[in-house]
Structure 1
């Protein structure tokens, strides 16, 4: 029953994931601590999809969950539990330093769309194309990342590939009121002119709500922003382009990075 429900929810989520950031469920990884003390040898990470607030709504499933340790070695992860709303990973922290926990690239199902004046238009029902429209299929690809540290942090420039949000400002050294810089890159090459969305968690309880913010990456693929409040934030970028091998197939890549902004000491 659980597997059937997850498959049904996955099909329902696909058009949402292909939509705009404000309307879509976002994939995220959320650890129970971002900076573990030296004596702590694991963290528990929640993997789910949410809309706005990072409250689990649909469990994330992936064959590519993994962690990259301070020594650069990659270790596959198998969820300790898969519930209806979230999966939970117990991530080993075998040594001091900073780790990258990732869902890997998750492939969704194909969705139908119309390419109209260079823009994709998704429809839940059959729609007659207008003159000049081109029917295409869109493949959804999603990835969620988070960095965690045990004891003394270490460098974070791991050997990765695919679309990702890389923290230029050290992820364990983010403070309210200070500038944070991240780089959108694909196969380690910067992407200019892409839209990065910043979503603040915990807004249900905030006296002053923080609306979603949108930034455009510069020539170096970078965005800088200054969070005014401590808390957990989700960064998201979506890159769409035609497949290099098939003109009627478009690829919709979504990458997220969860960060913790600390209060000023």
Structure 2
């Protein structure tokens, strides 16, 4: 029981930066639907309010921009300021681009005498920096993914990579309209992920007394449907845990997924 509570506390501490009550990570393109060869500017931040720059920039060392043909596009004019990271993309191909910023890591707590030590880092660093004989060692593995989608011209299919927690569109993410239902599917390591809680928050919370979030649950096939109440940008988040770790010392894996979606007027 004590070990379970400690894991729960460690998982809760990791979850705070991505919870609806705390800081929110996001990628925000200047436009999600353009004509081929146009440029878009993308802002990346972690903020107190969705789509406002008021906390820290999102580090995009692991950003991958995948073009419609599967090639990787390099961002231009990359800059990191006090509150946001920004970069430009030229959408030279017709079709849909996936922008995905992912990370994998470990968090641990252990005792040195009566003092609790906390550690974060990679699996490689774990072997070097955490004592092999650490007492009361608790290790949590984490995998995060922050995404958005941009279409130049005609939308094209998006291919999942089958790792971690993913959003698999049934309705194309750049074909969303106010008042219409859109359908998506959640997978974990390529398999349907039923019973997951999905939180969707519309932009503009800075000017509202409450977040007006929508809360949904994936069905037995990992699918869910959402009818967009109005046009605008939306922040979508899913967080879950399981025991499918790749490090023997880690007993839990925390998976998080965030997407920015734009809903157009009819």
- Per the normalisation by structure 2, the TM-score is 0.76
Which residue of 2 is the match for residue 131 of structure 1? Answer: none
CA contact (8 A) 1:18 1:24 kept: no
Which residue of 2 is the match for residue 11 of structure 1? Answer: none
- Pair 50,182 (structure 1): closer, same or farther in 2 beyond 3 Å: farther
CA distance in 2, matches of 1:188, 1:111: 27
Tell me whether 1:199 sits opposite 2:196 in the alignment: no
- Map 1:166-181 onto structure 2 (within 5 A): 166-181=168-183
- Pair 62,150 (structure 1): closer, same or farther in 2 beyond 3 Å: same
Which residue of 2 is the match for residue 141 of structure 1? Answer: 143
Alignment partner for residue 88 of structure 2, among 75, 90, 95? 90
- Pair 260,136 (structure 1): closer, same or farther in 2 beyond 3 Å: same
Aligned length: 231
SS of the residue corresponding to residue 156 of structure 2 reads coil
The answer for unaligned runs of 5 or more in structure 2 is 1-10, 117-135
Which residue of 2 is the match for residue 30 of structure 1? Answer: 28
CA drift of 1:135 comes to: 6.2
Alignment partner for residue 62 of structure 1, among 60, 63, 75? 60
- Pair 240,219 (structure 1): closer, same or farther in 2 beyond 3 Å: same
- Pair 135,111 (structure 1): closer, same or farther in 2 beyond 3 Å: closer
CA contact (8 A) 1:240 1:251 kept: yes
CA distance in 2, matches of 1:30, 1:160: 24
- Pair 136,214 (structure 1): closer, same or farther in 2 beyond 3 Å: farther
CA distance in 1, matches of 2:137, 2:146: 29
The answer for unaligned runs of 5 or more in structure 1 is 1-13, 114-124, 127-133
- Map 1:227-246 onto structure 2 (within 5 A): 227-242=228-243, 243=245, 245-246=247-248
CA distance in 2, matches of 1:47, 1:257: 12
Which residue of 2 is the match for residue 121 of structure 1? Answer: none
CA drift of 1:76 comes to: 4.8
- Larger displacement relative to structure 2 (229-238 or 47-56): 47-56
For the aligned residues, what is the CA RMSD?
2.8
- Map 1:36-47 onto structure 2 (within 5 A): 36-40=34-38, 42-47=39-44
CA drift of 1:157 comes to: 2.9
CA drift of 1:97 comes to: 1.1
